[in-house]
Structure 1
Amino acid sequence: MLDRAARLRQLSEVDQDLIRLAQNPRFARWLEQVSATGGCAHPIHLTGSTTTRDAGTGEVLHHYDTATEPGERLLIRCRNRRATVCAPCSRLHAGDTFHLVRAGLVGGKSVPADVRERPRLFVTLTAPSFGPVHRATADGERCRPRRNAGHCDHGRSLGCPAAHDATDPLVGQPLCPGCYDYPAHLLWHAYAGRLWKAFTDNLYNHLAARTGHTRSGLRRTVRISYAKVAEYQKRAAVHVHAVVRLDGAHGPGTPPPAWATAEVLTAVVLTAAAAVRLRSSYSSALGEHELRWGSQLDARPLRAFGGREGLADDAVAAYVAKYVTKGAADASAGLDHPITGPDDIAAARLLAHVRTLMRTCWRLGGLPELEPLRLRAWAHTLGYRGHILTKSRAYSTTYAALRRERADHERTAPDSADELDAITDAHWRYVGSGHTPGASLIAAGIAEDLATNREVARDAVAHLSGGALGAG
């Protein structure tokens, strides 16, 4: 009864807020602002002004001030990549990621078109095993069928006769939490960035050894470019998907030598990853751990221009873009926000396996010898400190350049500062964020309409072109 009363009060608050918004004389302009953000679920509120003057005469070419805006505020996108936080901004971020990755595969956005003729691979590197977990199966296959499986020291069976589909909450959970090496899992996350650096260094070393070059001589001949995205597996361990491209010494503007083929690069990727070995910091409580990539390594060539063999460029770019917005939308990825202590972990809605990882991360973060790893600051991401997507400098364009290009495209009136010798004086201040309950409902409707329009347009273009389009 109380829950129903609370829901009724909530509905009443939304209705009252909708009436308040609709009766505001500046409602139409407010609606324009919300539409301009794409229905952003958590917009940033700014107040201030921008004045553009001719540098020679001092004449005011353009002036904008929020004093005439509803609430004297300007709404801008939050730009959060996580779909769980803001679906409209995450879709925009996924689109930017698609174009960023695709430009490094087929050219465009300042990248020459002949990069599509270079050796290019789609590489997957995984974490090693930290203990047996339940796995998804198909066609009635059982999870871990073992005859006379026996039991571990904690009394749990070492086998699992069940058949799990991908939606089974058991998938990714340890067969025995007591046997699972939680500290090793978290230390691997903390060192994942260094593992990737060791892998890319090894690529040059192994490529030099394979082709008879010195390491310095090889670096004067070829350049390895990449874009990589981190994905949390069901077992809450990060693995890496990466596009790796081989260029000439000066990056995408120069072709690699004739001996640099996809076959050579594939062989080197596999040996370079397998050879990575790092040691964690010594701890009196944990000792020292050897850190390496998992045994499940994969390197597949991308389809050559005009060819039929290999992965398609657009499919790979869409795949990377999909994972860059997942983040903590996946139950195995921890939380969207930092935590302040064990109470936050206890209050969060988490899988038991993820909760144990987070608690272990917090506990290890209190050890003085592990303090440089900042495990407590990154306990919400299970010790993983890297960005979800990173790329080498020469791979392709940047998010900032893509946003600039979109802003120029969306500008309704030409900016005189772009055409004349002008100076701009801007004064802006953050004054808040988010929506009221009624405004949130309107913004969600706008975002849904825009998403529907995009789908209709995509389907129409696909129909006219006679084939399916890639993501974008």
Structure 2
Amino acid sequence: MRQLSEVDQDLIHLVQDPRFTRWIEQITATGGCAHPIHLTGSTTTRDTETGEISHHYDTRNEPGERLLIRCRNRRQTVCAPCSRLHAGDTFHLVRAGLVGGKTIPADVRERPRLFLTLTAPGFGPVHHITADGRRCRPRRDAGQCEHGRPLGCPAVHEADDPLTGQPLCPDCYDYPAHVLWHAHAGRLWKAFTDNLYNHLAARVGRTRTGLRRSLRISYAKVAEYQKRAAVHIHAVVRLDGARGPDDPPPAWATANVLTAVVRTAAAAVRLRTPYSAALGEHELRWGSELDARPLRAFGGSEGLADDAVAAYVAKYVTKGATDTGAGLDHQITNPDHITAAPVSAHVRALMGTCWRLGDLAELEPLRLRAWAHTLGYRGHLLTKSHAYSTTYTALRAERADHQSRGTQPADEAVVLTDAHWRYVGSGHTPAAALLAAGIAEDLARNREIAQEEVAYNGVMSGD
């Protein structure tokens, strides 16, 4: 007789539990979260005047005496269901700053707005994607570098070619400069936005202080790793009046003015790293490739569509470092982890450079070893200015309020909630993980069908 596997035994144990149906309900409520948080405790809501209990919940009646809640991890590689929820929140956060909603007035769609792409400079020649049959670096007389490697490449590289983004000569590539640029990317962005104010003021003949009395720059930006494992920045930039989204900017503040100033502001950024006896001093700047496109809300043919930009940002923000092949989703605590990491030789060299430079006293504030898994980049993937739009916290609170409607007292009595919760674990057993994945897949498919029906009904009604 065949011996049951561990998963089979676990599955039998689960389905035979008299609370199995309730467990399925909990997993469904988390959207099929791959790594749910396990809590134990209780919540009691009572009327402060009468002392009457209007609601009481206790995990003692739950399977395993636990309540499962979402892990809320944004990375698709860690938890696909929660990453989809995070992507939805990101879409609404970015879109509200473009067309209004979520406390942002609708007339922001009439403001000067651009979608920018700022890139890193070159740190050495790399193989790049080619189109229309063109060769990578078709220079027959390019010769060789000092390490004896050819400086040309006659190949035609596709996006999935493992050579794409890799240095022609790893020994010539400036790995320290690449890592230091990543570590200072936040400061480079700050210098860029500061320059925007300065260059706008100079263009219209005002002082910076005078300009700030009538204008504010609002933005939301997302970081993306290129094939060469260098971060570039996509950003939505909007001009408001001094009070933010409720205040229109001056009449002279147009998309054309903003486009012109963006280029000069980026080109003027120069930062110098602290002097190091081992590395010397590096000058940091933005790359020469800069793209600035105006945005449109509805109708018209000029510029990018707002919804398309919001969807793009939302899609990328759920990707982990593993998705792009430009790092890991967890910190590195030992140099042996770098050697064993499932990454390209180029990315491994960047991680190794972070680990080596992290031992230099003058670079200690950069915490390069702590950020070796992201190649020295220390920022969040998505950041925004305070006045750009709503927040993730507000979006989650709104969703929670919507989900809890109908469970609160119908009258306007003043209530007091007494809650006691304790963390007791996370994750799934092997069989539970399979069941949760199936539930997540069913929920995702149901959403797709619902979206298709909405689109079909819209077409049939002529909307």
Give the TM interval when normalised to the shorter protein.
Answer: over 0.9
Partner of 1:142: 135
Q: How many Å apart are 1:410 and its aligned residue? A: 2.0
**Gap runs ≥5 in structure 1:** 1-7, 468-472
Partner Cα distance (2:412, 2:175) in 1 = 59
TM norm structure 1: 0.95
Q: Give 1:452's aligned residue.
A: 445
Q: CA RMSD in A?
A: 1.5
Q: Please, which of 259, 265, 269 is the counterpart of residue 258 of structure 2?
A: 265
Which of these residues, 368, 373, 396, is aligned with residue 366 of structure 2? 373
Name the amino acid aligned to 1:311. L
Aligned position for 2:81:
88
The Cα offsets for residues 120-170 of structure 1, whole Å up to 9 and x where unpaired, read as 000000000000110011111101111211111111100110000111111
Higher mean displacement: 213-222 or 320-329: 320-329
1:257 deviates by 1.1
Give the aligned partner of residue 159 of structure 1: 152
Give the aligned partner of residue 171 of structure 2. Answer: 178
SS at 1:330's partner residue? helix
> Match for 2:159: what amino acid?
A
- Give the whole-Å Cα distance in 2 for the aligned partners of 1:244 and 1:419: 43
Q: Which residue in the other structure is 2:458 paired with?
A: 465
**Counterpart of 1:430?**
423
Q: 1:200 and 2:193 equivalent?
A: yes
Whether 1:293 and 2:283 are equivalent positions in the alignment is: no
Contact 1:136 1:163 in 2 (8 A): yes
Aligned pair partner of 1:357 in 350, 353, 356:
350
Partner of 2:16: 23
Percent pairwise identity: 80
Residue matched to 1:4: none
Rounded to whole Å, the distance in 1 between the matches of 2:194 and 2:297 is 26
Please say if 1:277 is aligned against 2:270.
yes
After superposing the two structures, state which structure 1 stretch, 52-61 or 15-24, moved more: 52-61
- Relative to structure 2, which stretch is displaced further, 51-60 or 140-149? 51-60
Alignment match of 2:323 (pick from 310, 330, 354): 330
Q: Structure 2: how far apart are the matches of 1:368 and 1:337?
A: 24
Matches within 5 A, 1:335-414: 335-411=328-404, 413-414=406-407
Deviation at 1:303, TM superposition (A): 1.5
Relative distance call for 1:420 and 1:270 in structure 2 (3 A) is farther
> 1:416 aligns to what SS in structure 2?
coil
Report what 1:110 is aligned to.
103
Amino acid at match of 1:377: A
Q: Report the equivalent of 1:40.
A: 33
Report deviation, 1:412. Answer: 5.9
Which of 303, 310, 318 is the aligned partner of 2:303?
310
Measured in 2, the distance between the counterparts of 1:34 and 1:388 equals 28
- Deviation digits for residues 353-379 of structure 1, max 9, x if unmatched? 111100110000000110010001111
Q: Which SS does the other structure have where 2:316 is aligned?
A: helix
Greater mean alpha carbon deviation, residues 85-94 or residues 332-341: 332-341
Aligned match of 1:56: 49
- CA shift digits 1:434-456 (9 cap, x unpaired): 00000000000001011111111
Unaligned 5+ segments in structure 2 are: none
In structure 1, what is the equivalent of residue 182 of structure 2?
189
Alpha-carbon deviation of 1:239?
0.5
Contact 1:101–1:396 (Cα < 8 Å) also in 2: yes
Paired residue type of 1:198: A
| Distance in 1, Cα, partners of 2:190 & 2:219 | 12
Q: Is the 8 A contact 2:118 2:234 kept in 1?
A: yes
The answer to whether 1:127 aligns with 2:112 is no
Distance 2:269 2:414 in 1: 54
The answer (yes or no) to whether the contact 1:126–1:238 under 8 Å persists in 2 is yes
Q: Indicate which of 63, 67, 71 corresponds to 2:64.
A: 71
